[in-house]
A and B are shown apart, each in its own frame.
Chain A
Amino acid sequence: MLQRFRTLPPRYWLVLVVVLFFVGLPTVIDSFQAGEWAQALVLAIAIMGLNILVGYSGQLSLGHGAFMALGAYVSAILAHRYKMDYLVTIPIAGLLTGVIGFLFGVPALRLSALYLALATFALAVVAPSLIKRPAELTGGVQGIVLLPPVPPQPVSDAYAALTGTAMTSDQWTYYVTLAWGLVLFWLAWNLLRHRTGRAMRAIRDGEVAAAASGINLAGYKTLAFGISAFYAGIAGSLFGLAAGFVSPDSFPVSLSIQLLVGAVVGGLASIPGPLIGGIFAYFLPIESNQWVPTQTWIPTQIASTIEKAGPAVTYGAVLILTMIFAPNGIVGLVGAGYARLRGRLRGVPDRESGQMPQDPQTV
């Protein structure tokens, strides 16, 4: 057993460190910030879903915000109108959204790249208006206000025993989101290493070659869309839990774009990419609000203009810089940096044989 642990590749230890970091995080930050991190993890889950579609299967979607909306409303309606336990509604919301995504994928994936992007974009545009119509069911423009979740007594007691303070609803939401995030990231990792993942990547890299190898193109594309929508549905449901409120305006077109930005910035076709992308996509717009210059020498009229336009400009500038210096996303940048560091320390492998040069100290 011990032997097995000792021979684990270093990236497993990295995963362990990251998981421990996220488990311990709420004990060192305050409750409100735990709520914010829960929202970032929600985005990470949605981006993971988008990543399966965009990064691994090569299909572009600009409509994942609509799938999040569907998941959020399924949960909110079940919890609010039918008095179900919110936690029970989360998988229901995910599965239902997955099925709808799968069905949407059947006709949509006959479309080629740009037309698919437009079709999914249309979905994101009409979603808020569609939600408003059956007002008795969805609450119309008012939306649905959800009560903050109460942590179950044993969990609350255990948390209190460990940290000395009672668990707040925000912290409970955080742990629920984290648990779902761990399961879904583990699922994605398994899925993408095996047969399905290989088929998806083959389709992405060359449809003709993939079809020639006997891969069912339409089948795998639709499957990718369904799985991706399932992730978005779960994320939407968790979004409702974390925000305590769902309304048509919670899911604007810009949310879909925000998800895509997160996926690209984090790093497409990678497992840690969506996590970094989620944190980036959630915190950058908020943080850029704080970076507004407040020098007193700026005339007030100009200062108020800067104050309004500043966050958007900062957001755009950071995005452009990231894309210039890290075209493969943050994960790509870190990977390239690590490879270069290793090359500097240990030399590069021989091009012909792939052998590493001998350790310089022994030469």
Chain B
Amino acid sequence: MSKIGARIAAVAAFMVTLAACGGSATPAPQTDVGVTSNSISLGNTIAQSGPAAAYGTIANAELAYFTYINNTQGGVNGRKINFKILDDAYNPAQTVPLTKQLVEQDKVFAMFSGLGTQAQTSVRDYLNAQKVPQLFVATGATTFMLDESLHPYTIGWQPPYQGEARIYAKDVLANHASAKIGVLYQNDDYGQDYLKGLKDGLGSNASMIVDAESYDVTAASTASQLATLKAKGADTLFLFTTPAFTIKSLVITTALHWEPTIYLNSVSNPQVYMGIAAKAGAALKNVTSVGYLKDPTDPTWASDSGMQLYKTVIANCTTCNVNDGFNIYGAAVAWSMVDVLKQAGTNMTRANVANIATSGLNETSNPFLLPGVVVKTTSSDHFPITQEQVITWSGTGWTRQGNLIDERGTIK
């Protein structure tokens, strides 16, 4: 309440000043909390410990990109970016107080790339009530793009989970029309969103799903669920699982002497995690996923200028594994953030920045995305990325198949 009061007072004071000056013509540059003449502060909560700790490197890669921008370009429009990262251990009960701390104590201008469907859902109402932008959340849960009108300060970035699941549905119908599908999904909004997308995509063929088993993120193992799916006669396995559970599930599947066709969600598919699964004994035959980022381990991009830039950027992060696909994700989303701040120019208000991110994006040259992938939002379409390409596991890396598939406009 006091903030709104203070803001009204500030606006009133500003009006009075304008009137006193006799209506000077040029509007003064506007700023909000967290912006000074030479700095912008952004906040982030992410899992750097706990069951989804594999994602923690994303924030470090984002910091590396901001450091690169600060060092080589002096920041954005003369303002250096301060990026504060806090570890919420993938636990919404920690995300809420940490987000409050960033907003009220550290006085950040905006939250950027907070990770976790549950975690970001739990702070969405709070951030919108405070009118703090919640930009490019690191979750593809459809609600972050679809329910824009209810939460005008919130926007996702990566392709929606439902869109990705629809691409798998198309692939199954085209290549494995008689498949008996078993699904393993995480029991939360994230897993359920993928499952919904798959069912919608299969449409009248949804009965191909013979069983869907879930696990809680606090669970120790997924062995009993996988054994059940095998016993139900599934020959095609969908893994809507976070990295640690994905690696375990791939290993357990092989240990059960089960060789289904596997569809693996993109949020767990970096090549390095596949390598860990293979080392732990997973067979990894017939594995399909999707991609929209340039894979750092793909020799195709060895001399690509975007990949060169990525390698320069990631050198700023001593703990980052350059081959980890999550790091190029971090660099790519940070690129979009810098793009938004550049567009905002002198009008550095929270409302303006949120508006540009949710309705004014049009990136055709994000150097870290696959060629042709566009990051675009308009006043009626708030899905930034909708294009993905099917990839299959070759035994050492991912091989791209066919062309980009665009799911823009299919999710309502």
Q: Using a CB–CB distance below 8 Å, which chain A residues touch chain B? A: 30-33, 35, 128-129, 132, 140-143, 145, 147-148, 150, 156, 165-170, 243-245, 247, 249-250, 300-301, 304, 308
Closest chain-A Cβ to B117's Cβ sits at a distance in Å of 9
> Considering the chains assembled together, what is the distance between the CA atoms of A30 and B189 in angstroms?
35
Interface size class for chain B?
20 to 34
Known: A141-B216, A142-B118, A143-B122. A166 touches B1 (CB 8 A): yes
Q: Using a CB–CB distance below 8 Å, which chain B residues touch chain A? A: 1-2, 5, 48-49, 91-93, 96-97, 100-101, 104-105, 118, 121-122, 125-126, 129, 187-189, 216-218, 318-319
Known: A150-B1, A169-B1, A300-B319. A243 touches B97 (CB 8 A): yes
Q: Are A128 and B218 in contact (CB under 8 A)?
A: yes
Q: Are A168 and B2 in contact (CB under 8 A)?
A: yes
Q: Are A142 and B216 in contact (CB under 8 A)?
A: no
Contacts A35-B100, A166-B1, A169-B1 supplied; 13 other A-B pairs, CB < 8 Å = A142-B92, A145-B121, A147-B129, A148-B126, A165-B2, A167-B2, A170-B104, A243-B97, A244-B126, A245-B92, A247-B93, A249-B91, A301-B318
Which chain A residues border B189 with CB–CB below 8 Å? Answer: 142
> Considering the chains assembled together, what is the distance between the CA atoms of A128 and B92 in angstroms?
14
Q: Are B125 and A308 in contact (CB under 8 A)?
A: no
Which chain B residues border A169 with CB–CB below 8 Å? Answer: 1
Q: Are A247 and B104 in contact (CB under 8 A)?
A: no
Q: Are B125 and A247 in contact (CB under 8 A)?
A: no
**Of A30, A141, A143, which contacts B217 at CB under 8 A?**
A141
Q: Are B91 and A168 in contact (CB under 8 A)?
A: no
> Considering the chains assembled together, what is the distance between the CA atoms of A141 and B219 in angstroms?
13
Which chain B residues border A132 with CB–CB below 8 Å? Answer: 216
> Considering the chains assembled together, what is the distance between the CA atoms of A245 and B91 in angstroms?
12
Closest chain-A Cβ to B208's Cβ sits at a distance in Å of 26
Q: Are B318 and A245 in contact (CB under 8 A)?
A: no
> Considering the chains assembled together, what is the distance between the CA atoms of A304 and B57 in angstroms?
13
The chain A residue sitting closest to B90, CB to CB, is A249
Between A and B, 6 residue pairs with Cβ closer than 8 Å are A141-B187, A143-B122, A166-B5, A247-B92, A301-B318, A304-B319
Which chain A residues border B125 with CB–CB below 8 Å? Answer: 145, 147
B129, B188, B216 pick with most chain A CB within 10 angstroms: B216
The chain B residue sitting closest to A172, CB to CB, is B1
Q: Are B104 and A243 in contact (CB under 8 A)?
A: no
Which chain A residues border B126 with CB–CB below 8 Å? Answer: 145, 148, 244
Which chain A residues border B319 with CB–CB below 8 Å? Answer: 300-301, 304
The chain B residue sitting closest to A171, CB to CB, is B2
> Considering the chains assembled together, what is the distance between the CA atoms of A353 and B333 in angstroms?
80
Q: Are B93 and A308 in contact (CB under 8 A)?
A: no
Q: Are B121 and A142 in contact (CB under 8 A)?
A: yes
Closest chain-A Cβ to B322's Cβ sits at a distance in Å of 16
Known: A143-B122, A147-B125, A148-B126. A243 touches B96 (CB 8 A): yes
Which chain A residues border B218 with CB–CB below 8 Å? Answer: 128, 249
Which chain A residues border B1 with CB–CB below 8 Å? Answer: 150, 156, 166-169
**Of B92, B104, B187, which contacts A31 at CB under 8 A?**
B104
Which chain B residues border A129 with CB–CB below 8 Å? Answer: 216
